[in-house]
Amino acid sequence: MIQKLLVVFVLVVGLVGYDYFRLQPARNVEIARQTQTNHALGLDLETARQSRDKVIALKKEISQTTEVIQQLLTRLPRRSEAGALLEQITANPGRGMRFESVIPKGINRKTVNVALTHPPVKGTVTYEELELGVELLTTFRHLGKYLERLEQIPRLVEVVGLKVSGAGIGKPLSVKMSVKTYIYGG
């Protein structure tokens, strides 16, 4: 019985020794390799998560930029809408105001270089400036109302020059101004 136990004990010690000296180093190498692979995959996963977050942020920024562009485009009249815009500028002067002349000063084509830094994008935007020379006779109060009405027009209208001269007490003011609007597209 003791001999059997001794043989079993020697056999167990031999198997444990064989496992420890022969098989365990290969397992340790495999574990180290797997640990390195897991670490590399963890770094890749973190990079992928950061990239995903950047993509989400960029999509949101692109969406916001697109909304701003659409809002700006609704403020810029198209060439086909320029006539209606001119009517809005000159129509219905009301009492106390009289247009002496409205003279188109021509259309100037402009190109602007655009460069965004994040994300890096470069390009050009082409638009046209339509300038009108407006002369009118009015009172100071009616001039203020007219300028306020120009400001209320949903399209982009800019008063770029304003010269007011008076003819005397109780007489209407002579107003000369340049009004610009910007036309985008056809």
Residue 184 has pLDDT above 80, yes or no: no
Give the pLDDT confidence of 141-164 residue by residue, as tens digits: 888 888 888 888 877 788 888 999
Give the pLDDT confidence of 25-62 residue by residue, as tens digits: 888 888 899 999 999 999 999 999 999 999 999 889 88
Least confident segment among 63-67, 84-88, 104-108:
84-88
Determine if residue 106 is left, alpha or beta; phi over 0 gives left, psi from -120 to 50 gives alpha, anything else beta. Answer: left
Is the whole model's pTM more than 0.85, yes or no? no
pLDDT score recorded for residue 50? 93
In order of 104, 163, 164, the CA distances from 130 in angstroms are 8, 19, 22
